[in-house]
Amino acid sequence: MIQDKDIYDVIVVGGGHAGCEACAAAARTGAKTLLVTHKISTIGEMSCNPAIGGLGKGHLVREIDALDGLMARVIDKAGIQFRMLNLSKGPAVRGPRAQADRTLYKMYMSEELKNTKNLEIKEASVEGLIVKNHTVCGVVLSDGKTIQSNAVVLTTGTFLNGIMFTGHQTSIGGRVGDVSCVGITPFLKDLGLNLGRLKTGTPARLNGDSINWNILDRQSGDINPKAFSFLTEKITNRQIDCGITNTNEKTHKIIRDNFSKCALFSGLITGVGPRYCPSIEDKLVRFADRTSHQIFLEPEGYETNVVYPNGISTSLPADIQDEFIHTMKGLENVEILRYAYAIEYDYVNPQELNHCLGVKKAQGLYLAGQINGTTGYEEAGAQGLVAGVNAALFALKTGKEFYIDRSQGYIGVMIDDLITKGVDEPYRMFTSRSEYRLVLRADNADARLTDLGYEIGCVSDERYSVFKQKMSKIQEYNTYCSSKIVSYPEIENAGISVKHTGKKTLKDLMSYPDVSRETINRLDEKSKNVDEVTFEQVEIEAKYSGYLKREYEDIAVFKRDENLKIREDIDYSKIGGLSTEMVQRFTKVKPKTIGEASRIIGVTPAAVTAILGHLKK
């Protein structure tokens, strides 16, 4: 074997959304990092829909940004239509979303990586791991060369034994035009990891020049687009519209008549696909009574004529796709540039991982993204960041770990769900997954996480000082509002009707649902000069106050159990009062804390109490 003379702290395999965040995070944390990707030109590729964010997902992007990750900054530069979803609802459930110019996104992502210190990029295919004594210490390339490192992060996406399906036609590959990776799976199996198959799909791509836009409804971006990154001051890109069309009964008949020809129903695909991003044939089966489904026509960029039809992912053969796509309004004469396909790939049961996304059965190996059974760029990026920081901390022998818990962020919710419950379909983030939804908002991701990131070393001084200034402004204004008493005549002059009970502070008034910024401005001279971000933070605290109090109490309880650490060498079979079943459940997951132990499926409170006794030995 020929050895590359360089030795790295961290090697990241894969240049997708998980890989980009992982290598940048490892490098930021101070590790000498190498990104190995099979094709430099596809770094940051948006393989499916050209959009970042959404509900739950937008929260993740803000959290990535709070930890100085790349995704938010890149989409702020590459976005062509920004919308704040759920704007009519409260701040906790609003989610920023933006469509991207696919080419610009890739370009800005590559640029970010090139400007990252401690980071090198190499074009090569990884076909194996160097494993010694259950410790991973490098990778083997397809040409037989090896590269050594102290830690490896695998972010292989859909490439592990990827098989693509278009109707009955199958081809081996990780994405159209890309080969799949077959070499790594045997190494994972040798480590004793439990693997499975999942599937996902991507719709056809259309030629926008052949769409009859004039007869279609439009969806525009927000008039005042909000940035993803806490550091972006203003979105300057020109915003473009997307079109809306619908499937109809004709479309549905064609699809129904050809069910037998699609890979999913003919039994070719055995992997489980996500329910929330179902293929059109899936939708017809599941919602048999619906006669129409909405389809968004999203341009993939400024310069390209490629349009992404959101909502008609399918594994039907090309000729059937041809037929049903042309039944839709505005698409009567559309040219199909590329047909839809489904893809099936290997994933590792995430119960094999710890909270740092490290593999429990091997030292120095971290996994992030679709390999862990998730779907989505944002989910992948967030895991990449956590895996990258932890790989660096391990490689640099700091003895530290980077761990976000369920009360700190959606990242924590996602990782905790993955490692304690496993997955039976590709995992996507939703706001409803969080039990502390009112505390974990997209607007306060920095307040929740930036301190944590700075402490561990993945947040730059520059960001940290901006953050600190922002926080002190909010705190100052919050103190002011909480102590500033407003007299009843003043309150009534401002048009607010209140019961005359006790003294009312400015913050009390903010808590009323119908009291707006304008009303506060009329009441208080100083508030007029307060910037929008500061005002918003104090206002949200006030409007949610009662509910937030209860969530903070719940969090305090949660934290107490979370702070009770379980020793790694604990032998569950020697704990009195534990049934065999409980011993097996605990031994499988190896929880690190009492809190984690209590969230394992099927575990009883009594069993958790029994472990309590073994903490303080």
Partner 1 sequence: MDSKTIYALSTVAGKSGVAIIRISGSKAFSVFEKMTDIPVDILQSRKMYYTKIFNPVSRETLDNCLVVGFKSPNSFTGEDTVEINCHGSKAVIKSILEALSEITDFRMAEAGEFSRRSFYNGKMDLTEADGLADLIDAETALQQKIALQQMGGTLFNLYAKWREDLLNILSYVEAYIDFPDEDIPQNIVFKLQNSVFKLSSAIKSHIKDNSLDEKMRNGFKVVISGPTNAGKSSLINALAKRNVAIVSDIAGTTRDAIECYIDIKGYPVIFSDTAGLRDAKDEIEKIGIEIAKQKIAGADFNIFMFDPQTDSPDIFSESIKESDNNCLLVANKCDKLSEEQKRKYKKEGITLISAKNNIGLQNLTDTIAEFLSNRYDVNKAHLITRHRYKECLTDCIRNLDNFNLQKNIELAAEDIRLACRAIGKITGQVEVSEILDKIFGNFCIGK
- Residues interacting with partner 1, by CB under 8 A? 54-56, 85-86, 89-90, 92-93, 275-278, 283, 286-287, 290, 293-294, 296, 310-311, 421, 430-433, 435, 437-438, 513, 543-544, 547, 550, 553-554, 556-557, 560, 575-578, 604-607, 609-610, 612-614, 616-617
Residue type for position 577: G
Gap between the Cα atoms of 496 and 510, Å rounded: 11
Tell me how far, at minimum, the Cβ of 532 lies from partner 1, in Å.
Answer: 19
Give the nearest distance from C-beta 76 to partner 1 in angstroms: 21
In whole angstroms, the minimum distance from the beta carbon of 64 to partner 1 comes to 20
The torsion defined by the Cα of 220, 225, 226 and 228, in degrees rounded to 10, comes to 70
From the CB of residue 599, how many other CB atoms can be counted at a distance below 10 Å? 18
Separation CA 609–CA 498 (nearest Å): 49
CB of 466: closest distance to partner 1 in angstroms?
29
Sequence letter at residue 46:
M
Which C-beta is closer to partner 1: that of 290 or that of 468? 290
Q: Number of H helices and number of E strands within the chain?
A: 21, 22
Helix (H, G, I), strand (E, B) or coil at 135: strand
Task: Please report, for residues 31, 36, 536, the alpha-carbon distance to residue 481 in angstroms, rounded to integers and kept in the order given.
Answer: 44, 52, 13
Amino acid identity, residue 6? D
Output the smallest distance, CB 539 to partner 1, in A.
Answer: 13
Nearer to partner 1, 43 or 342 (CB): 342
Q: Quick one: 89 or 528, whose CB is closer to partner 1?
A: 89
Angle between helices 410-421 and 57-66 (to 10 degrees): 110
Q: Which is nearer to partner 1, 215 or 557 (CB)?
A: 557
What span, in angstroms and rounded, lies between the C-alpha atoms of 347 and 199?
10
Helical spans, DSSP H, in 445-579:
445-456, 461-483, 488-493, 506-510, 517-523, 532-543, 545-562
Residue among 154 and 548 whose Cβ is closer to partner 1: 548
For partner 1, the closer CB: 52 or 193: 52
C-beta separation of 508 from 490 below 8 A: no
User: Considering beta carbons, is residue 291 or 487 the nearer one to partner 1?
Assistant: 291
Burial of 5 (0-12, 13-18, 19+ CB in 10 A): exposed
Q: How far is the CB of 89 from partner 1 (least distance, A)?
A: 5
Min separation Cβ 509 and partner 1, Å:
17
HEC string of 183-205 equals CHHHHHHHCCCCEEEEEEEECCE
DSSP state of 209: G
What would the two tokens of residue 236 be?
């300057």
Which residue number, 335 or 553, has a Cβ lying nearer to partner 1? Answer: 553
Residue type, 217: D
Q: Of the two residues 319 and 424, which places its CB atom closer to partner 1 in the complex?
A: 424
Distance CA 403, CA 415 (A): 10
Which one, of 353, 553, 540, lies nearest residue 435 by Cα? Answer: 553
Q: What three-state secondary structure class fits 3?
A: strand
* Shortest CB 30 distance to partner 1, Å: 37
| C-alpha to C-alpha distance for 311 and 321, rounded to whole angstroms | 13
CA gap 35, 121 in Å, rounded: 5
**CB of 374: closest distance to partner 1 in angstroms?**
15
Residue 560 or 565: the one with the smaller Cβ distance to partner 1 is: 560
What separation in angstroms does the CA of 316 have from each of 63, 248, 266? 38, 17, 10
C-alpha to C-alpha distances, 578 to 245, 317, 421, 616, nearest whole angstrom: 58, 54, 21, 18
Shortest reach from residue 142's CB to partner 1, in Å: 38
**Shortest Å, Cβ 305 to partner 1:** 22
Question: Least distance from C-beta 342 to partner 1, angstroms?
Answer: 16
Nearer to partner 1, 172 or 556 (CB): 556
Quickly count: other Cβ atoms within 10 Å of residue 569's Cβ. Answer: 5
3-state secondary structure of 387: helix
Choose between 495 and 613: whose C-beta lies nearer to partner 1.
Answer: 613
Q: State in angstroms the smallest separation of the CB of 293 from partner 1.
A: 6
122 three-class SS: strand
As measured in angstroms, the least distance from the Cβ of 219 to partner 1 is: 9
Shortest distance (Å) from residue 289 CB to partner 1: 10
Distances 294 to 11, 217, 269, 283 between C-alpha atoms, Å: 43, 11, 26, 11
Q: To the nearest whole angstrom, how small is the minimum distance from the Cβ of residue 614 to partner 1?
A: 8
Q: Are 112 and 64 in contact (CB under 8 A)?
A: no
Closest C-alpha among 578, 617, 580, 613 to residue 594: 613
DSSP conformational letter for 155: -
- C-alpha 482: how far from chain center: 36
Nearer to partner 1, 485 or 606 (CB): 606
C-beta closer to partner 1: residue 137 or 540: 540
Whole-angstrom distance, CA of residue 217 vs CA of residue 204: 21
φ, ψ of residue 446 in degrees (nearest 5): -70, -40
Nearer to partner 1, 9 or 378 (CB): 378
The residue (of 330 and 453) whose beta carbon lies closer to partner 1 is 330
